[in-house]
Amino acid sequence: MEYRTWFLPVVLVTMASLWAAGCGDGEEDDNGDTGPSDVAMDIQEDVMDVEEDMGEDVEEDVEEDVSDIEEDMEEDGDDMDAEMDAEMDIEEDGDDMDAEMDAEMDIEEDAPSTGPPGVGDVIVTEFMANPEALADSNGEYFELYNTSSTEDFELDGCVIEDLSADSHTIGAAGGSFVIPAGGYVTLANSDMPGFTSDYNYGGSWFLSNSGDEIQLSCGGTVIDTVDYDNGPNWAGNQPTEGAAKGLDPTLLNATDNDDGDNWCDQTTSLPNTTDNGTPGAANDPCS
């Protein structure tokens, strides 16, 4: 105990000094928080934690703080979480066990986490029900749009269905199919429906030429539905052969896409066929 009480701070101060001398330039980074000089500051602050813990004569805390410092130096150069944890621990009860648990949680929280969308977060914005240049069995597709400007959403495990027999659970290669914030993804019954689709749901899911539904559900919650069944909300404006229907780009929400009057034939040619569509990109305007 006595040996450790003077030896560890000396070693750590030395380590911190070497780290600062070797990596830091003494100036603040442009972004102010993640550069080598900040790492050196973090380590120095951890050393102060050690000294404070020793003032309370808590040997376990000292050892754990030491391992915190070592981990921080090995990991990613960002000690902010560990630093805050250490401060809270000191304020609380002199028991540093929380810091270990916090550190584990920090690692989990720092990992990218993308959740499923909520109602209206992801909407149907385009569909090709009746291709002309390709057979229907090869050229049907639809497009989804992420209405959030800040949040990505995970679509793997979500279900695409209609209101009768068609149902397919998205099972992407690698177990992840993310639609980025403000972005589009395309789902098709082949890999090349006139362009390279993002997801191929295969040949057992169909878009009827006369009337059908596209519904996305995630975790049992319906996220969006488009029903072009020629019913009261979609009188006329049925699919045109060789042109995808696109939602007016000024009306990108889950309610406006229920009304067939807000959809129009796309006029931009697909990359690989003479049919028209704007898969994965903003739709052609409807007026």
* Residue selected from 39, 129, 158, 218 as contacting Ca ion according to rule CB under 5 A: 129
* Residue selected from 49, 85, 106, 212 as contacting Ca ion according to rule CB under 5 A: 212
Residue 9, Cβ neighbours under 10 Å: how many? Answer: 17
Question: Which of 93, 11, 101, 103 is CA-nearest to residue 50?
Answer: 11
Helices (H), ranges, 56-159: 59-74, 80-92, 97-110, 136-139
Distance of CA 33 to the CA centre of its chain: 24
Q: Is residue 209 a contact point for Ca ion (CB under 5 A)? A: yes
Helix-, strand-, coil-residue percentages of the chain, each rounded to 5: 35, 20, 45
Q: How far is the CB of 245 from Ca ion (least distance, A)?
A: 10
Question: Which of 69, 239, 237 is CA-nearest to residue 139?
Answer: 239
Q: Is residue 146 a contact point for Ca ion (CB under 5 A)? A: no
Q: How far is the CB of 161 from Ca ion (least distance, A)?
A: 8
Q: Is residue 207 a contact point for Ca ion (CB under 5 A)? A: yes
CA angle 215/216/218 to nearest 5° reads 145
Residue count at the site for Ca ion (CB under 5 A)? Answer: 17
The residue (of 99 and 134) whose beta carbon lies closer to Ca ion is: 134
The residue (of 89 and 162) whose beta carbon lies closer to Ca ion is: 162
Contact 29/67 with Cβ under 8 angstroms? Answer: no
Residue nearest to Ca ion (CB): 278
Q: How far is the CB of 179 from Ca ion (least distance, A)?
A: 13
Contact 85/78 with Cβ under 8 angstroms? Answer: no
In 13-53, DSSP assigns E strands to none
* Residue selected from 75, 258, 259, 261 as contacting Ca ion according to rule CB under 5 A: 258
* Residue selected from 83, 136, 154, 161 as contacting Ca ion according to rule CB under 5 A: 136
The residue (of 102 and 212) whose beta carbon lies closer to Ca ion is: 212
Q: Which of residues 106-125 bind Ca ion (CB under 5 A)?
A: none
> CA-to-CA distance for 137 and 207, rounded, in angstroms?
10
The residue (of 31 and 287) whose beta carbon lies closer to Ca ion is: 287
Q: Name the residues that contact Ca ion, by CB under 5 A.
A: 126, 129, 136, 143, 162, 166, 206-207, 209, 212, 224-225, 254, 257-258, 278, 283
